[in-house]
């Protein structure tokens, strides 16, 4: 079987946006549903409070994304919901009125596409909410509701709010606010398929699927893929699966997953014993224990062996997300850790994804703290922002960093090097995660490179030289560098 994944994703840099926290619109509008009391923008986030970020606010900042170099936006849920994160869906066809409704999204989508930015939405198809009309009808009419088969009702009476009584229906992780769909029911299944199709027809460029491993009905995700790809063969389908995702990455279901198997080892190597256990023991992505270069290489080699190469190139490689503490906070606010991790992220096969605000030094612990508002310009860490810009530009400039093969070159102590190769160029990435400067010998260069003269592309303080055996690179403590070599002979 020939596996096809969207070509644009292989060249993309994503930016993840939590809509309630990115930006409030500056425009005048006449939407009374948006003229409501909100939490102070600069106050710490809470589990239930709304900050009032909206999609017009995102649209007003599209030039920022272009300047940063990102080419795709991934939004956590935007559909009508009674929660600030909107994973409790009320209406899959209606954008939340607090975000500006369908009108705001239509304008945002067009404006993003005009700038060459793709847009991927979050699809929450395992469960809905107590406010979802069909489930709400069950709450109102009990066993007389025509929608009983859409959910997994066990006995009566249902208790949707009183935690002292059994809920009597299946819900995600036993959270009675999130009743699970009955995906065995043909009508429910068709409803979800049509939602997926509808938004792709509106121009959306793909779906990020929430907890898709919970839906185990045979053929469900195969049908979803077939129907989405029939409308847009280049639509991106990426699943939220934290561990080995091989059962879903056979070419018949998802194009990739949120690559936490990259996140954990990368932070464990870049941060070492700086990683704060209090932030990483609950989420299952394991940026601990500390890894040396040999340990990191073993993890990365195993990861790159799990899936076909066509799939590897469309993995979503992240360092932070709305479900984990922010990388900078995880690393004890050690900026060098984040900078090294970003270097590894931007040079790794797959599409890098920046969680909003990470690039300007936004901090945050576990949920809800990882969902702070995007800071004002006066609070940006400009060194970190420029670091992101430079590495994104480097990735966008070099095809080898996007689709080239991955070759480990050196792994010893806290020194790691690898090459990305394609027929036209070789890019060498060298990382010194140690607290002392290092001279790293690179003797096993790709064939045809031994006698070539490299050019330094990135790395403050980087120096290099050649020997009969190959190349040496000298790096200051806790820094990395990138060099390029001419085409392989």
Active site residues: 210, 240
DSSP state string for 432-447 = E-SSS-EEEEE--PPT
- For residues 220 and 189, is the Cβ–Cβ distance under 8 A? yes
Distance CA 122, CA 206 (A): 9
Between CA 60 and CA 67, with CA 62 as vertex, the angle to 5 degrees is 130
Phi first, then psi: what are they for 324, rounded to 5°?
A: -135, 160
Using alpha carbons, select from 104, 84, 110, 93 the residue that is nearest to residue 373. 84
Q: Which two tokens stand for residue 178?
A: 């999130």
Q: Which two tokens stand for residue 182?
A: 């009955």
DSSP state string for 155-212 = SSS--SS-TTS---B-BGGG-TTSBBB-TTSHHHHHHHHHHHHHHHHTT--EEEESSG
Environment class of residue 16 by beta-carbon count within 10 Å: exposed (0-12), middle (13-18) or buried (19+)? buried
Distance CA 6, CA 442 (A): 34
Using alpha carbons, select from 404, 305, 322, 409 the residue that is nearest to residue 357. 322
Distance CA 475, CA 483 (A): 12
What is the DSSP secondary structure assignment for residue 314, as one 8-state letter? T
Distance CA 291, CA 298 (A): 10
DSSP state string for 391-411 = HHHHHHH-HHHHH-EEEEEEE
Using alpha carbons, select from 350, 185, 332, 188 the residue that is nearest to residue 263. 350
- What's the gap between Cα 328 and its chain centre? 16
Distance CA 52, CA 315 (A): 31
- For residues 297 and 238, is the Cβ–Cβ distance under 8 A? no
Sole residue written with tokens 């702070």: 372
Cis peptide before 369 (omega within 30 of 0): no
Distance CA 286, CA 283 (A): 8
Distance CA 376, CA 370 (A): 17
């Amino acid at each position: 079987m020939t596996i096809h994944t969207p070509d644009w994703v292989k060249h993309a840099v994503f930016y993840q946006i939590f809509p309630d926290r990115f930006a409030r619109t500056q425009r005048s509008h006449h939407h009374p549903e948006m003229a409501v009391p909100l939490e102070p923008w600069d106050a710490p986030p809470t589990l239930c409070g709304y900050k009032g970020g909206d999609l017009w606010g995102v649209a007003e900042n599209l030039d920022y994304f272009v300047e940063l170099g990102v080419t795709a936006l991934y939004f956590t849920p935007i559909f009508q919901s009674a929660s600030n994160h909107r994973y409790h869906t009320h209406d899959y066809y209606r954008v939340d009125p607090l975000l500006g409704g369908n009108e705001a999204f239509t304008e945002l989508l067009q404006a993003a596409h005009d700038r060459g930015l793709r847009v991927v939405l979050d699809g929450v198809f395992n469960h809905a909410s107590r406010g979802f009309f069909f489930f709400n009808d069950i709450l109102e009419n009990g066993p007389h509701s025509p929608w009983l088969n859409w959910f997994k009702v066990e006995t009566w009476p249902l208790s949707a709010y009183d935690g002292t009584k059994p809920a009597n229906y299946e819900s995600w992780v036993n959270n009675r606010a999130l009743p699970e769909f009955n995906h065995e029911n043909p009508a429910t299944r068709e409803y979800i398929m049509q939602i997926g199709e509808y938004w792709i027809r509106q121009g959306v460029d793909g779906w990020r699927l929430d907890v898709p491993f919970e839906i185990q009905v045979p053929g469900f995700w195969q049908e979803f893929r077939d129907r989405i790809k029939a409308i847009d063969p280049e639509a991106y389908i990426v699943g939220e699966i934290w561990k080995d995702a091989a059962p879903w990455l056979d070419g018949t279901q998802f194009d990739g997953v949120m690559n936490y198997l990259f996140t954990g080892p990368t932070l464990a190597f870049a941060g070492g014993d700086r990683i704060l256990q209090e932030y990483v023991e609950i989420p299952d992505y394991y940026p601990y224990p500390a890894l040396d270069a040999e340990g990191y290489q073993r993890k990365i080699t195993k990861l790159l062996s799990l899936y076909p190469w066509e799939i590897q190139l469309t993995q979503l490689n992240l360092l932070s997300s709305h479900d984990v503490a922010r990388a900078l906070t995880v690393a004890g606010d050690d900026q060098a850790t984040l900078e090294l991790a970003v270097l590894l992220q931007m040079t790794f096969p797959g599409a890098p994804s920046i969680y909003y605000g990470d690039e300007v030094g936004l901090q945050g612990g576990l949920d809800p703290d990882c969902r702070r508002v995007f800071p004002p310009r006066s609070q940006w860490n400009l060194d970190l922002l420029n670091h992101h810009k430079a590495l994104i530009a480097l990735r966008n400039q070099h095809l080898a960093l996007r689709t080239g093969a991955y070759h480990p070159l050196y792994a010893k102590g806290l020194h790691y090097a690898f090459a990305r190769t394609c027929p036209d160029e070789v890019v060498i990435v060298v990382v010194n995660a140690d607290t002392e400067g290092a001279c790293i010998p690179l003797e096993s260069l790709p064939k045809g490179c031994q006698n070539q003269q490299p050019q330094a592309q990135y790395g403050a303080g980087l120096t290099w030289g050649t020997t009969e055996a190959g190349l040496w690179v000298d790096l200051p403590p806790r820094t990395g560098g990138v060099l390029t070599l001419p085409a392989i002979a």
